[in-house]
Structure 1
Amino acid sequence: MNPALQPAIKSLIVRLHHGSLILPVNLMAELVTGGELTPSEHPGLEGWLQWRNRQIPVVSLESLCMQDAAGESDEGKCLILHTVSALPALPFIALRVQGGLNTLDILPDTLRDDHSGNVQRCPYVARQVRASHLLCFIPDLPTIEAVVAEVLQLTAEQPDAALLE
């Protein structure tokens, strides 16, 4: 297809402690500010966020990638995302973020691959790019969701417990 004819992808740019994330707008459910996390006993999960009568697992891309100073956001913000996997017991995940949301229309020539400082490639990042001179990560959501599902021992056969109540 001719790149000039491809429609723009409406995307979000969300700040992390180090860098920013780019995500399609249609995956966002809500940006939650100041929600208290229930601590998680599972390694890899920051905790649980009570959201719309559901317990949502919260992950930090930086913690998953073991970056220095990953620590939790000072602002206590979580971006609730619709999952891309087909696990009924995992309809949403939350990512720990900072600051507000910005939108960007991504065209084929908007993003430039950036390999600077990427000595140890994180398996949870699909691509490291520059968008308008800003270092951004495109998360590998299927891999992140698979890790969360594995940690929680979820399978495609399990019904969502919240739906049964």
Structure 2
Amino acid sequence: MKPRYEPAIKCLIVRLHKGSVILPLNLMAELVAGSELAASMHPGVEGWLHWRNRQIPVVSLESLCMEEDAGESDEGKCLILHTVSAVPGLPFVALRVQGGLNTLEILPDTLRDDHGGNVQRCPYVARQVRASHLLCFIPDLPAIEAAVAEVLQLTVEQQELAISE
């Protein structure tokens, strides 16, 4: 029996305030300066980024995971991602990041699970791994998108209430 060939997945490694995330390269739409965000009144959404005639919700993985010392990126960059869920009206989300982008081709044996230091499990992190000796998080994008969609639903309901009053 022939061994099954599994192709490498082209991924991005992006730095957060603390740690890094790994994302499939095909989800990236654009890396933009996100220093001027419209304010958000909702927990979990740091603000709104105006991008290509759209309002994109900006989230921070650290804020979602309620890390005490989650600070804003000094560089104010946002990585705009195509969503993976079929949520109507949510084609993109933006993730608050720092620095530039690094690429990595991931094979089945590239990632090693790392449970050290992961005392409190965040529901928005699918896995904590080491890639080339770098501690990285693989975000649970469907969970993040569901949280943002819930915020958007609240926003729609509040707008409808304001209009009807």
**TM-score (norm: length of structure 1):** 0.90
1:24 and 2:33 are equivalent in the alignment: no
- Does 2:128 align with 1:107? no
For the residue of structure 2 that corresponds to 1:41, the secondary structure is: coil
Pairing 1:97–2:97 present? yes
Q: Distance in 2 between matches of 1:33 and 1:25?
A: 19
Q: Gaps spanning 5+ residues in structure 2: where?
A: 155-165
Worse overlay, 73-82 or 29-38:
29-38
Instruction: State the one-letter code of the partner of 2:42.
Output: H
- How far 1:68 moved relative to its partner? 2.3
Q: For 2:129 and 2:11, locate their aligned partners in 1 and report how far apart those are by CA, in whole Å.
A: 14
Match in the other structure for 1:33: 33
Q: Describe the superposition over 1:84-119 as per-residue Cα deviations: whole angstroms up to 9, x where unpaired.
A: 010120000000000000000000000000001000
SS across alignment from 2:146: helix
Q: How far apart are the structure 2 equivalents of 1:71 and 1:134?
A: 21
Give secondary structure in 2 for the equivalent of 1:153. helix
After the TM superposition, which segments of 4 or more aligned residues of structure 1 sit over 4 Å from their partners?
none
Q: Cα RMSD over matched residues?
A: 1.3
Residues 68-77 or 43-52, more deviating: 68-77
Asked if 1:146 is matched to 2:136, the reply is: no
Instruction: Note the C-alpha offset of 1:34.
Output: 4.4
State the SS of the aligned residue for 2:96.
strand
How many residue pairs match? The answer is 153
Contact 2:56 2:94 in 1 (8 A): yes
| Cα distance between partner residues in 2 of 1:131 and 1:112 | 7
SS in 1 for 2:148: helix
Gap runs ≥5 in structure 1: 155-165
SS of the aligned residue for 2:17 comes to: coil
2:85 aligns with 85
Separation in structure 1 between the aligned mates of residue 36 and residue 137 of structure 2, nearest angstrom: 26
Q: Distance in 1 between matches of 2:91 and 2:34?
A: 22
TM score, norm. by length of structure 2: 0.90
- Deviation string, structure 1 residues 122-155 (Cα, Å, up to 9, x no partner): 000000000000000000000000000011117x
Q: Is the partner of 2:153 in helix, strand or coil?
A: coil
User: Taking structure 1 as reference, are residues 54 and 118 closer, same or farther at Cα in structure 2, changes over 3 Å only?
Assistant: same
Counterpart contact for 2:34–2:49, Cα < 8 Å: no
Match of 1:11 in 2: 11
Deviations 1:25-71 (A, max 9, x none): 00000000244100101111000000000000000000000112102
Q: Structure 1: which amino acid aligns with 2:46?
A: E
Aligned amino acid, residue 86 of structure 2:
A
Partner of 1:59: 59
Q: Which SS does the other structure have where 2:58 is aligned?
A: strand
Aligned AA for 1:136?
C
